[in-house]
Amino acid sequence: MAYNLLKGKKGIIFGALDENSIAWKTAQHCYAEGAELVLTNAPIALRMGTINKLAEEINAPVIPADVTSAEDITNLFIKTKEHFGGGVDFILHSIGMSINVRKAIPYPENNYEFTHKGLDISAISLHRVLQMAMKQDAINEWGSVVALTYIAGQRVFPNYNDMADGKAMLESIARNFGYFYGVEKKVRINTVSQSPTRTTAGSGVKGFDGFITYAEKMSPLGNATADQCADYCVSLFSDLTKMVTMQNLFHDGGFSFTGVSQAVIEQMEK
Ligand SMILES: NC(=O)c1ccc[n+]([C@@H]2O[C@H](COP(=O)([O-])OP(=O)(O)OC[C@H]3O[C@@H](n4cnc5c(N)ncnc54)[C@H](O)[C@@H]3O)[C@@H](O)[C@H]2O)c1
């Protein structure tokens, strides 16, 4: 059901790769709520994924940008401002990548070149996007930025590998930049800490099936789906959450505050 929560708002969605992507669902939900969108992803992802299908469905241009390139991000904001005839009201950062995870290199043996690349793509990219946006005054007053994260940024999930360090840094950047952008232009910046979700990035984590079933059993409400995450993002982009900033918001069916569940106890007693 749509409520026109984003009527008249304009936004940029980073990270829609295929129809499982959380960014893909978020773009669909934002569009259904009345937003106008620009889609972006890395040039290689544009070749591999199916983003043009989404672009057609929601009538949005696709502007390529590798988030490790300041030049690409600058170009993205220039083109987006031309397209909308002004700045944007919201941005979704839905980007994560670890070469150490991809190559199944255990955390204690991480290759630092891969670590640097992973941190650059998964965390520093949020800083880069915000810096370039601020320089070009590309986000309107009372704008909202959301970046997606995972609880491994705060607690240990061994197979999450160096992505955990990336998420800890991402959450910290959201807090710190949230201060500066808040003072400068009343722009709010939050991270949403989502349940494990079956997507290309999610399924890359070793033992994902066990992981997602465990989280389901540990969460009083069960795991949150990508569609439910999209709804939560819509609410954070809307005017109903104007005073929420610099927060890490759990969207995980209660997983983060559950010590143990009866379902897990029963499983252990088998
Ligand atoms: N799937 C889960 O279990 C889960 C849980 C919590 C948080 N998250 C987070 O949600 C976000 C979205 O992931 P997803 O699960 O939808 O997977 P996904 O694989 O669909 O999305 C990841 C996106 O990052 C993009 N990307 C990678 N390198 C890039 C670069 N250099 N420049 C620009 N874009 C680049 C990819 O092209 C892809 O579109 C990530 O931050 C992820 O860590 C996922």
The answer to whether residue 266 is domain-embedded is no
Determine the Cα–Cα distance for residues 225 and 195; give it in Å rounded to an integer.
7
> What pLDDT digit, counting tens, does each position of 150-203 carry?
999 999 999 999 999 999 999 999 999 999 999 999 999 999 999 999 988 888
Per-residue confidence (pLDDT) for residue 123, from 0 to 100: 99
H or E stretch at 48: helix 43-48
> What pLDDT digit, counting tens, does each position of 240-266 carry?
999 999 999 999 999 999 999 999 999
Residue 69 pLDDT class (50, 70, 90 cuts) = very high
The pair of three-digit structure tokens given for residue 78, joined into one six-digit string: 């220039």
The answer to whether residue 236 is domain-embedded is yes
The answer to whether residue 216 is domain-embedded is no
Q: How far is the CA of 94 from the centre of ligand 1 (A)?
A: 5
Residue identifier of the C-alpha nearest atom 37 of ligand 1? 45
Q: How far is the CA of 138 from the centre of ligand 1 (A)?
A: 23
Nearest to 169 by CA among 99, 231, 98, 219: 98
For 173-191, the DSSP string reads HHHHHHHHHHHHH--EEEE
Determine the Cα–Cα distance for residues 65 and 13; give it in Å rounded to an integer.
11
The DSSP call for residue 92 is: E
Average pLDDT across the chain, whole number: 97
Residue 49 pLDDT > 80, yes or no? no
Is residue 31 within 8 Å of 92, Cβ to Cβ?
no
Residue ranges making up the domain that contains 20: 10-207+223-258
Query: If you average pLDDT over residues 61-87, what whole number do you get?
Result: 98
Ligand 1 atom with least separation from CA of 22: 16
The answer to whether residue 200 is domain-embedded is yes
Residues in contact with ligand 1 (CB, 6 Å cut-off) = 15, 17, 21-23, 41-42, 45, 66-68, 94-97, 121, 148-150, 194, 196-197, 199-202
The answer to whether residue 214 is domain-embedded is no
Per-residue confidence (pLDDT) for residue 14, from 0 to 100: 98
The answer to whether residue 267 is domain-embedded is no
- The more confidently predicted of residues 63 and 2 is 63
Residue 206 pLDDT > 90, yes or no? no
Q: Give the largest CA-CA distance in the chain.
A: 62
The partner residues of 62 in beta bridges, in order of sequence, read 39
Angle between helices 22-32 and 226-237 (to 10 degrees): 50
Q: How far is the CA of 196 from the centre of ligand 1 (A)?
A: 12
Residue 192's SS3 state is strand
The pair of three-digit structure tokens given for residue 156, joined into one six-digit string: 């240990």
Residue 71 pLDDT > 80, yes or no? yes
The answer to whether residue 254 is domain-embedded is yes
Please list, in sequence order, all residues whose beta carbon lies within 8 angstroms of the beta carbon of residue 52, skipping any fewer than 6 positions away: 62
Nearest to 170 by CA among 221, 260, 98: 98
Query: If you average pLDDT over residues 230-235, what whole number do you get?
Result: 98
The CATH number of whichever domain residue 143 belongs to comes to 3.40.50.720
Q: What is the dihedral of CA 264, 265, 267, 270, to 10 degrees?
A: 170
* pTM, two decimal places: 0.98
The answer to whether residue 128 is domain-embedded is yes
Per-residue confidence (pLDDT) for residue 103, from 0 to 100: 96
Is residue 205 within 8 Å of 160, Cβ to Cβ?
yes
> What pLDDT digit, counting tens, does each position of 95-115 carry?
999 999 999 999 999 999 999
Query: If you average pLDDT over residues 208-212, what whole number do you get?
Result: 89
Residue identifier of the C-alpha nearest atom 42 of ligand 1? 96
Number of domains in the chain: 1
Residue 61 pLDDT > 80, yes or no? yes
Per-residue confidence (pLDDT) for residue 208, from 0 to 100: 87
Per-residue confidence (pLDDT) for residue 84, from 0 to 100: 98
Residue 1 pLDDT > 80, yes or no? no
The pair of three-digit structure tokens given for residue 34, joined into one six-digit string: 């009345």
Ligand 1 atom with least separation from CA of 226: 16
Please list, in sequence order, all residues whose beta carbon lies within 8 angstroms of the beta carbon of residue 203, skipping any fewer than 6 positions away: none
